[in-house]
Structure 1
Amino acid sequence: MTDTSKTPIQFAYWVPNVSGGLVVSKIEQRTSWDIDYNRKLAQIAEANGFEYALSQIRFTAGYGAEFQHEPVAFTHALLAATTKLKVIAAILPGPWNPAVAAKQLATIDQLTGGRVAVNIVSGWFKGEFTAIGEHWLEHDERYRRSEEFIRALKGIWTTDNFSFRGDFYRFTDYTLRPKPLQQPHPEIFQGGSSRAARDMAARVSDWYFTNGNNVEGIRAQIEDLRAKAAAEGRTVKVGVNAFIIARDTEEEARAVLDDIIAQADPEAVNAFGDAAKQAGRASPEGEGNWAKSTFEDLVQYNDGFKTNLIGTPKQIAERIVELKAAGVDLVLSAFLHFQEEIEYFGQNVLPLVRALEDVRTPETV
């Protein structure tokens, strides 16, 4: 396995291009889904040490998300407002065809100096597929379709006269020009905690996102994933979801978490939980995302409280370095008040992380 201990851990944030914030709670969230807020947020994140942002994909209202901006267009707008930040556009196989996605993203990559990436979302929300007339596949079939989608993207982006014969997608002698600037192609992310998700990541993805979890749980997932990837002659980087509550004292941070949960919207949380757990439990082993999440976990969409980046800057920095030691390459973060909290994180937490990395990085392996 490649040693990555000397590579600094990276940071991404969830783009709030969907209304309602990142917790299903009636607590105040000084966060907005509009473009002016998000342009400024991207600039703040870029100035405060964040390397990536991840736009969200939703087609229909629900679970507090009444309004949703389309992620590919929104991604391009954020890239146009920044100079270094890489923005990951979420794409859902089914509504998107890989030829259209490949062409959209290649153009954006050309226009923004090679800063776009893609997150392939296999789908968890059956009601959304039904609403827009898309066929809802069984759990492992969704991942099989996503794998074909990624293979098609890679083929279109890296070869001329591309031909492919799959169960879901077919191409005959297709050449895309211009191709993306990034070589060999824009980075490909995917999520999921199921066996099918990890196996797909091992075979075809550059990055694997997992829901929030404790260090032991994350380490077990990463060891499993990387063993499978090594058997394929590949390496895969790992990002973990975390809802970050950084305050001057641990008491303040814990009080914020208590308030978020106390003001949770039970109807919205339970509705989300029913849909999400159906998707997780539908995996043959019953271990997909959200399969074992509690009500409190589900108040944050991606089990972000479980990662426990809640406390003082020092506590959070130490826990981030522990995640790195477990194999995490990137923390995908969410916040209650995005602009001010990303700035606080960049000024108060990130310098401590970098200092701890220097101290804990061995000179020899």
Structure 2
Amino acid sequence: MTQLKKEPLKFAYWVPNVSGGLVISSIEQRTSWDIDYNRKLAQIAEASGFDYALSQIRFTAGYGADNQHESVSFSHALLAATEKLRVIAAVLPGPWTPALLAKQIATISQLTNGRVDINVVSGWFRGEFAAIGEPWLDHDERYRRSEEFIRAVRGIWSEDNFNLRGDFYRFTDYTMRPKPLGDLPQVFQGGSSRAARDMASRVSDWYFTNGNTPEGLKAQVDDIRTKEKQFGKPWRTRIGVNAFGIVRSSEKEAQELLAEIIDKAIPDAVKGFHHEVQNAGNSSPEREGNWAKSTFQDLVQYNDGFRSNLIGTPEQVAERVIGLKRAGADLILLGFLHFQEEVAYFGKHVIPLIRELEAEEERTLAAAE
């Protein structure tokens, strides 16, 4: 394992701006997709030591998400209700053009003291594209378009008289004003395919990966570091890893709750999701994507959040978070059953322990120098 980096870990939570919660299960989830719940949740997260919130992008119903709020406008509402929290708006090239997205985000940046970022989603669900009349590109073409999308948006934000002659987008002497306030919005992306990691290694500020063990995460991070050097990227891609938190006063209670989530899984919905994500993975040249090795249990939390194993007592979870940091994580992206209560609990009982462990590691490293 590598030594801990000196920069403290960041924490983010999934914004429940779609219905159905974060697990495909009939277990009770005291979480709502409405704006009042989410405004209060954002304020709780900000007060609890969370740095980011990630809004979700969905255009069609499925797997419990019968209702979906649009991500960019919803992100703005959360920013208006907070003072420090950064909100990451998920966007999808195709429905969004670079000019529209650049203008939206620059305006929100101006209105919220520069606290808005973007997560560029390349798309995996062919049925969603068909439903809204968007052309479906081959796997690697989707990532080529996303990379060009990022280059275009970043160029619009940072340059006057911006020009681009790409395969997907073209600009001629385009100047957009006002620009985003302060530093440019950060660009996040996800994916586990070769094309996804290569895109991250060339153009993205942050790379999100599905839940994983420290060993599995380290292999992904090492691959990205190697590719960064090959591509000559002048900055380090930071790494965020997904996790589903089940933090209780005893390990037995946490494990029993996990078992109940799995026992109450909705089999047809989980199997349907598995079928779609397998199709998505098989469309990549290496026939492997985000969910290539996911089991039925993994897919009950549809971003493999159980695999990160943040399930147990505050002390156990804090130690496991540090294990992910040693493997290369810069950020932990969290989902919960009952968001308001559990974000507050995590902030009160887990984050302070993580900060103590980080400080202890720093003291050990300083003493060894």
* CA distance in 2 between partners of 1:124 and 1:64 (Å): 18
Question: How has the CA–CA distance of structure 1 residues 3 and 292 changed in structure 2, closer, same or farther, with 3 Å as cutoff?
Answer: closer
* Alpha-carbon distance between aligned partners in 2 of 1:34 and 1:241, rounded to the nearest angstrom: 23
Distance in 1 between residues matched to 2:216 and 2:341, nearest whole Å: 31
Hey, what does 1:355 align to over in structure 2?
356
Q: Matched residues in 1 for 2:15 and 2:304: separation?
A: 17
Report the alpha carbon displacement of residue 357 of structure 1 after superposing the two structures with TM: 0.5
Gap change, CA 1:128 and 1:248, over 3 Å in 2:
same
Match of 2:249 in 1: 248
Summarize deviations over 1:327-354 as a string: whole Å, max 9, x none: 1000000000000001110111111000
Q: Give runs of aligned pairs for residues 292-303 of structure 1, distance below 5 A.
A: 292-303=293-304
> How far, CA to CA, are the matches of 2:293 and 2:136 in structure 1?
23
What is the distance in 2 between the residues matched to 1:244 and 1:275?
25
Q: Over aligned residues, Cα RMSD in angstroms?
A: 1.2
| 2: CA distance, partners of 1:336 / 1:17 | 14
The C-alpha deviation readout for 1:245-271, integer Å capped at 9, x for no partner, is 000000000011100010001111111
Matched pairs, number:
363
Aligned to 1:289: 290
Structure 1: segments with no counterpart, 5+ residues: none
Contact 2:160 2:175 in 1 (8 A): yes
Residue identity in the other structure for 1:360:
E
CA contact (8 A) 1:277 1:289 kept: no
Report how far residue 3 of structure 1 moved: 8.4
Structure 2 match to 1:195: 194
Q: Is the 8 A contact 1:241 1:302 kept in 2?
A: yes
In structure 2, what is the Cα distance between the partners aligned to 1:57 and 1:4?
33
Shift of 1:4: 6.6
Give the letter aligned to residue 39 of structure 1. R
Tell me how far apart the structure 2 counterparts of residues 222 and 169 of structure 1 sit (CA, whole Å): 30
Q: Compute the displacement of 1:63 (Å).
A: 0.9
Gaps in structure 2 of 5+ consecutive residues: none
- The residue that corresponds to 1:175 in the other structure is 175
Q: 1:127 to 1:156 in 2, by over 3 A?
A: same
State the Cα deviation string for residues 147-187 of structure 1 (Å, max 9, x = none): 0000001100000000101111111110000000132x100
Following TM superposition, where does structure 1 have runs of at least 4 consecutive aligned residues deviating by more than 6 angstroms? none
TM-score, with normalisation over the residues of structure 2? 0.97
Measured against aligned partners, the alpha-carbon deviations of 1:14-58 in whole angstroms (never above 9, x if no partner) come to 000000000000000000000000000000000000000000000
Equivalent residues in 2 for 1:104-143 (5 A)?
A: 104-143=104-143
**SS in structure 1 of the partner of residue 350 of structure 2:** helix
| 2:201 counterpart letter in structure 1 | A
Distance 2:133 2:229 in 1: 39
Q: Which moved more, 1:212-221 or 1:281-290?
A: 281-290
- CA distance, structure 1, for counterparts of residue 157 and residue 61 of structure 2: 33
Instruction: Give TM-score, length-normalised by structure 1.
Output: 0.98
Supply the distance in 1 between the matched residues of 2:277 and 2:98 (Cα, whole angstroms): 25
For 2:294 and 2:34, locate their aligned partners in 1 and report how far apart those are by CA, in whole Å: 30
Distance change in 2, residues 1:180/1:80 (3 Å): same
- Kindly indicate whether the alpha-carbon contact (under 8 Å) linking 1:160 and 1:176 is maintained by their aligned counterparts in 2: yes
